[in-house]
Structure 1
């Protein structure tokens, strides 16, 4: 895979996962639950290990593909790496969830919360690939 660093992939996935914990925890957790029509009790389940484990595996998948994509460009500047990483979120992820949210009737606020998360998720992963890639 085009000289991709597996350590960077793991750390990038972890960084994205941590961003999610902060974003959907203290920063936007209450707003997100309100927009989803959930309570704190609703999200407490005995399947949290499975949910978090699967979410982390999906973060690894995202990091593998971003790392692979970035590795094909060879040595890049910090600016270029961050533009590509954030560009993936702005050009692919956010329009895709935006389309889903439009057709499902989700609120604009929910879209902004989730879009903000994905933007930060890919920015965090890009930052890791700058440092470790």
Structure 2
């Protein structure tokens, strides 16, 4: 099985999309609940920009891999692409479950809420990104 060609413009677009969805998800939509659950303050958030470089790199890699998965799945419609994105979100969520198990800094309920909140974010942006890849293949 060879690695399919992935539209690099789509990789950049979906990477930006992941940041936009993250801004909305952890800002106006669920920002207060997320900060309360994590025990963060506004100052903690404004001082946390140093992780953005790491987030950018991992987003580019993740979006490239999603493009490969969408190509392998032969998704041609937005719904097939979104389904492929949700499948990848399930995989990410399964492997990310360690945050619930190993984070000893807070009670199990808070850790589980963190995981569900993050999984929701991942599911939303990967579903949208998967749809973009599938629909974008028609124009390539």
Output the TM-score relative to the length of structure 1.
0.85
The whole-number CA distance in structure 2 between the counterparts of 1:22 and 1:102 is 27
Q: For structure 1, which runs of at least 5 residues remain unmatched after alignment?
A: none
1:93 match: 92
The whole-number CA distance in structure 1 between the counterparts of 2:75 and 2:29 is 35
Instruction: State the Cα deviation string for residues 59-113 of structure 1 (Å, max 9, x = none).
Output: 11101111012223345333222111111112x1112222331332552322221
Number of residue pairs matched by the alignment: 130
1:131 positional shift: 3.1
2:35 match: 33
Q: Which runs of 4+ in 1 moved over 3 A?
A: none
Is 2:64 the partner of 1:60? no
Is 2:85 the partner of 1:79? no
Contact 1:9 1:60 in 2 (8 A): yes
Contact 1:9 1:67 in 2 (8 A): yes
The whole-number CA distance in structure 2 between the counterparts of 1:94 and 1:54 is 19
The whole-number CA distance in structure 2 between the counterparts of 1:27 and 1:34 is 13
SS in 1 for 2:122: helix
Q: For structure 2, which runs of at least 5 residues remain unmatched after alignment?
A: none
Alignment RMSD (CA, Å)? 1.9
